Chains A and B, each alone.
Chain A
Amino acid sequence: MVGELTESQLLRWIPLLPLMAAAVHGVLLGVVRRSLPRGLVIVLSCGAVLVSFLISFVVLIELTAMEGERVLIDNVYTWIGAGRFSAEVAFLLDPLSAAMSLMVTGVGLLIHIYSIGYMDEDHREDKGFQRFFCFMNLFMFAMLTLVLADNLLLMFLGWEGVGLCSYLLIGFWYADRFNAYCGSKAFIVNRIGDFGFLVGIFLLFWALADAGQAAIAFRDVEASLGAIVERTVTLPAWLQFLPGAPEWRLTTVIGICLFVGAVGKSAQIPLYVWLPDAMAGPTPVSALIHAATMVTAGVYMVCRMSFLYAEAPGASALIAWTGAITAIFAATIAIAQTDIKKVLAYSTVSQLGYMFLAAGVGAYSAAIFHLVTHAFFKALLFLGSGAVILAMHHEQNTDKMGGLRKYIPRTHLVFGIGVVAIAGLPYIASGFFSKDEILLSAYLAHHVPGYMALYAIGVLTAGITAFYMFRVHFRTFFGECRAPDEVRAHIHDPKNVVLVPLYVLAFLAIFGGYLGPSEAFVPIPDANSLGNFLLPALTQEAHHVAHSTEYALAGLATGIILVGILLAYLLYVRKPELPGRIASSLGGFSRAVANKYYVDEIYDAVIVRPLVAISDVVLYRGIDATVIDDIGANGSAKAVRSLASNVFKYLQSGLAQGYLFLMVVGTLAIIGYLTW
């Protein structure tokens, strides 16, 4: 059904090149068991990513050059064909995926380059360097497949692929058991989400096929969605308390199922717990996978399915509220963290919350906009923190830092830029425009229950964000240095291969916002180019609002942000002893915050332990060991053996003619039975 669209054989190479590079690495490491020289590894991996970056640039230009409907398609081959159901391996390039792929490849390229410097030191010996790049390329492949996928199944393939790669890369330093543990934690938590995602996919396909038009590709689904919009499902008795019970629209159910997947992948409440632990991986990994690209897959998916969510107000509201709550929740946790990467992790969670808030209130373009800017400055922040960590010889605790601006001025500069960007100061920060757009659309989202509350939470979170980000920055770079002397002796700015990507990202972090500012702030026609570019790919109604309102909202937000910054300045530069006293005065609450509200512990007690217990006692000892092994396998074997050794062995008389005799008799019997 997608036949009549413009074909472009180029698309397939965007994901394919990284895959090829990964395959080469994999074969060399896994089969040949020899690692390439460092230079070749770099050329291969970074080259692959670079080329696919260029390709995505080219196709973007091709896309913008098209008039009318801007869609490119690349049918590679039929992946699964069964009757009316046929899933193509096809890649789709519309404004949405174009922006995403460009962002992914671009940031990915920068981080690849950065990794050359970052991964250089540790374990050249056990081929770790090449292994790292193998995984990275594999991740690029999976992520690009996810982004460019033409149908939900292929997207799910990429979805799983990125999950796998994140697992591999979190546990990259597998020698340390804790890292391996974190990897598996991330993987398992993701699985929970993926389950919901899969259910959603099947539900959607089933419903469509049931409505008589089996469609897989997004466009076909969108076209034939009308067939199931009116359909409703009856909730089971134990769910009657839910709003809108007893009858829910099927689209809502599907939307919620899919969103469960997004929650898992994008670390929203309640499945966010894996992301902070994912920081166990190398910092470039945290930057690429757990800040810039993979964790935003959920947001991307929601925007990709915007036509569905437009039909599912319940699901949208759920998304919005989940996002908002996650945002503020994670932000509060971030206040009390001392580990620099942990802070960034929680801020990532919170920013993702922002994106979901936007997507929930139907401002998908705003979500994507924030996704892009966030990718820029969060990658910058992570890489900056990575530079700091390198300088501090793998010390991540900000308690041991401080006053580093004297030692590593360049890092201090770029990190500061990132902080400003995420805090969202007007005009000098990309965060400002995107965040402001989100807040605006939340303020205007009258169709979402309690939208004012959402708006309030958003503004408040903005303030908190500014506060803790500056807190980290001050604690790291200002005050007097708390590092031990022998460490302090060697603190220096990292090599250029590390710094250059930082500069580029810093530039993007400042000016990335001008991709799509609202006309209110940049009074030129079609200022919001990104938004207008994305709009045809999304299902959202543009909102028109007086500029005065926008100024007011922006002013309010900026004011709160400034308050947060000021607070941080007071507490951590003027009076560094104050925070301790405040914490002690707050007592239990502060402890709870410091311990992330004990969420991990609660999960452990409520879910993990019972699950383990049940699996061990019932499933393993009871079913597997007893029923299957003893009764099933061994039992049948024993039965056969005893029967054979007591009865049938006497047929084995050793006389060939006896066998022949029996054979003939048997044949006669069979033929006789068949004929007479």
Chain B
Amino acid sequence: MSLLFFYLFAAIAIAGALGMVLNTRNTVAAALSLVLTMVSLGGVYVLLEAYLIGALQILIYAGAIVVLFLFVVMLMNLRQEEFSPQRQRVTKIAGAVIGFLVLLQFLQLIHGAFGEPAAIIEGFGGYRQVGAVLFTDYVLAFEATSLLLLAAMVGAVILAKRKID
């Protein structure tokens, strides 16, 4: 059952990713197919017993980040990417080759590298346990990320402001 769902989600995710990358005409459509990927990845996380991560995945990526993308796209109201056709084929080929190589290497790296997953305790990946780890072992990193977010906020405001006054 869960295996079935996993392959379903994986298929959707890959399809969405492909749609995002290959759709050269329509940025919004690309963003929407990215949403598909994100949501189905949330499902994948849940299947991998990362419930908190799954929820956050949908909440943040699908719910916020991609919406932000859409917002910007609409703000600039880009309908078509106007392309200068030269160099296009070269890059396409190079990109395809590179992607293929990455994939190949990756697959041969992981092939048969993992045994059976370890037994997990009750509530693994729930907000309680993750929170416990996050706020004990990784509290410093947590604080550091808050600083990072602050910096990002300020930076975004400064960048997007029309005139700094």
CB of A671 closer than 8 Å to a CB of B: yes
CB-CB nearest in chain B for A674: B109
A671 to B110, CA, bound (A): 13
Contacts of B91 in A (CB 8 A): 657
User: Which chain A residues border B101 with CB–CB below 8 Å?
Assistant: 668
Residues of chain B lying within 8 A (CB to CB) of residue A672: 105
Contact partner of A664 (CB less than 8 A), chosen from B98, B108, B109, is B98
Q: Which residues of A contact B109 (CB under 8 A)?
A: 671, 675
Interface residue B102 (Cβ < 8 Å from any Cβ of A): yes
Interface residues of chain A: helix, strand, loop or mixed (majority)? helix
Identify the 4 closest CB pairs spanning chains A and B, nearest first.
Answer: A664-B98, A668-B101, A671-B105, A668-B105
Once A671-B109, A675-B109 are accepted as A-B contacts, the answer to whether A664 and B94 lie under 8 Å apart by CB is no
Residues 620-671 of A contacting B (Cβ, < 8 Å): 657, 661, 664-665, 668, 671
Interface pairs (16), CB distance under 8 Å: A657-B91, A661-B94, A661-B98, A664-B98, A664-B102, A665-B98, A668-B98, A668-B101, A668-B102, A668-B105, A671-B105, A671-B109, A672-B105, A675-B105, A675-B108, A675-B109
- Chain B stretch 89-106: residues in CB contact (< 8 A) with chain A: 91, 94, 98, 101-102, 105
Q: How far is the CA of A668 from the CA of B103 in the complex (A)?
A: 10
**In the complex, what residue of chain A is closest to B109 when comparing beta carbons?**
A675
Fill in one digit per residue for B105-123: 1 if any A CB lies within 8 Å of its CB, else 0.
1001100000000000000
On A, residues with C-beta under 8 Å from B are 657, 661, 664-665, 668, 671-672, 675
- CA A664 – CA B109 in complex, angstroms? 16
What's the dominant secondary structure at chain B's contact region?
A: helix
> Which chain B residue lies CB-closest to A675?
B109
| Cα of A657 to Cα of B92 in the assembled complex, Å | 12
* CB of A559 to closest CB in B, whole Å: 86
Q: How far is the CA of A664 from the CA of B101 in the complex (A)?
A: 10
Distance, CA A657 to CA B87, complexed state (A): 13
Q: Give chain B nearest CB distance to A130 CB in angstroms.
A: 46
Cα(A657)–Cα(B95), bound, Å:
10
A19 vs B98: C-alpha distance when bound (angstroms): 69
Q: Which residues of A contact B94 (CB under 8 A)?
A: 661
CA distance A36 to B12 in the complex (A): 81
The residue on A at minimum CB distance from B108 is A675
A492 CB to closest chain B CB, in angstroms? 74
Contacts A672-B105, A675-B105 supplied; 6 other A-B pairs, CB < 8 Å: A657-B91, A664-B98, A668-B101, A668-B102, A671-B105, A671-B109
Chain B residues contacting A657 (CB-CB under 8 Å) are 91
Give the chain B neighbours of A665 by CB distance below 8 A: 98
Chain A residue at smallest Cβ distance from B106 = A671
Cβ of A664: which chain B residues have Cβ within 8 Å of it? 98, 102
Number of chain B residues close to chain A: CB under 8 A: 8
Q: How far is the CB of A667 from chain B (nearest CB, A)?
A: 9
Report Cα–Cα, A46/B79, bound state, in Å.
88
- Which residues in B have their C-beta under 8 angstroms from that of A661? 94, 98
By beta carbon, the residue of chain B nearest A664 is B98
- Nearest B residue to A672 by beta-carbon distance? B105
Chain A min CB distance to B3 (Å): 29
Q: How far is the CA of A671 from the CA of B98 in the complex (A)?
A: 14
Give every chain A residue within 8 A of B108 (Cβ-Cβ): 675
A114 to B105 Cα, complex, angstroms? 86
Query: B residues within 8 A CB of A671?
Result: 105, 109
Interchain CA distance A84-B32 in the complex, whole Å: 69
Q: Which residue of chain A lies nearest to B95 when distances are taken between CB atoms in the complex? A: A661
> How far does the alpha carbon of A664 sit from the alpha carbon of B103 in the complex, in Å?
12
Alpha-carbon distance between A671 and B109 when the two chains are bound, in angstroms: 9
Q: What is the CA–CA distance of A664 and B105 in the complex, to the nearest angstrom?
A: 12
- What's the least CB distance linking B98 to chain A, in Å? 6
Residues of B within 8 A of A668 (CB): 98, 101-102, 105
- What residues of chain A lie closer than 8 Å to B105, measured between beta carbons? 668, 671-672, 675
Q: Which B residues are in CB contact (< 8 Å) with A675? A: 105, 108-109
Cβ of A527 to closest chain B Cβ, rounded Å: 73
Give CA–CA (A672, B101) in the complex, Å. 10
**How far apart sit A675 and B108, CA to CA, in the bound complex (Å)?**
10
What is the bound-complex CA distance between A661 and B105, given in angstroms?
16
Task: Identify the closest chain B residue to A667 (Cβ).
Answer: B102
Across the interface, which residues of A come within 8 angstroms of B98, CB to CB? Answer: 661, 664-665, 668
Report the minimal beta-carbon distance from A396 to chain B, rounded to whole angstroms.
68
Q: How far is the CA of A675 from the CA of B106 in the complex (A)?
A: 11
How distant is the Cα of A661 from the Cα of B91 in the complex, in angstroms? Answer: 10
A656, chain B: closest CB distance, angstroms: 13
A675 to B101, CA, bound (A): 14
A657 to B94, CA, bound (A): 11
A675→B104 CA distance, assembly (Å): 13
A668 to B109, CA, bound (A): 12
By a CB distance below 8 angstroms, the chain A residues around B102 are: 664, 668
- Least CB distance from B104 to A in Å reads 10
Given the complex of chains A and B, what is the CA–CA distance between A442 and B140 in angstroms?
Answer: 74
CB distance from A67 to the nearest CB of B (A): 59
CB A502 to nearest CB in B, in angstroms, measures 67
| CA of A665 to CA of B98, assembled, Å | 8
How far, in angstroms, from A661 to B94 measured CA to CA in the complex?
9
Task: With both chains docked as a complex, state the minimum distance between the C-beta of B97 and any C-beta of chain A, in angstroms.
Answer: 10
- What is the CB-to-nearest-CB distance from B149 to chain A, in angstroms, rounded to a whole number? 24
What is the chain B residue whose CB lies nearest that of A671?
A: B105
Of all chain A residues, the one with the shortest Cβ separation from B91 is A657
Cα distance A345–B102 when bound, in Å?
A: 85
How many whole Å from A231's CB to the nearest CB in chain B? 56
How many angstroms between the C-alpha atoms of A675 and B113 in the bound complex?
13
Q: How far is the CA of A328 from the CA of B98 in the complex (A)?
A: 92
Q: How far is the CA of A307 from the CA of B109 in the complex (A)?
A: 71
Cβ distance A669 to chain B, nearest Cβ, rounded Å: 10
Question: How many Å from the CB of A666 to the closest CB on chain B?
Answer: 11
CB distance from B95 to the nearest CB of A (A): 8
The smallest C-beta distance from B153 to any residue of chain A, in angstroms, reads 24
Distance (Å) between the CB of A658 and the closest chain B CB? Answer: 10
Please, how many angstroms separate the alpha-carbon atoms of A661 and B98 in the complex?
8
Pick the most buried of A657, A665, A668, A675: most chain B CB atoms within 10 A of its CB: A668
User: Interface code B39-64, partner A: CB below 8 Å = 1, 0 otherwise?
Assistant: 00000000000000000000000000
Expressed in whole angstroms, the Cα–Cα distance for A668 and B91 within the complex equals 18
A672 and B108 alpha carbons, distance in the complex (Å): 10
How far, in angstroms, from A665 to B105 measured CA to CA in the complex? Answer: 12
| Nearest CB of A to B107, in Å | 12
B152 to chain A, nearest CB (A): 20
In whole angstroms, what is the CA distance A207 to B67 when docked? 77
Q: What is the distance, in angstroms, from B96's C-beta to the closest C-beta of chain A?
A: 12
8 Å CB interface, B104-152 against A: 105, 108-109
Q: How far is the CB of A464 from the nearest CB of chain B, in Å?
A: 77
- Give CA–CA (A657, B105) in the complex, Å: 21
Q: Determine the residue in chain A with the shortest Cβ distance to B99.
A: A664
Task: Name which residue of chain B comes closest to A660, CB basis.
Answer: B98
Q: For the complex formed, measure the closest distance between the CB of B93 and the CB atoms of chain A, giving whole angstroms.
A: 12
- Kindly state the separation between the CA atoms of A103 and B8 in the bound complex, as whole angstroms: 94
Tell me the bound Cα distance from A675 to B102 in angstroms: 13
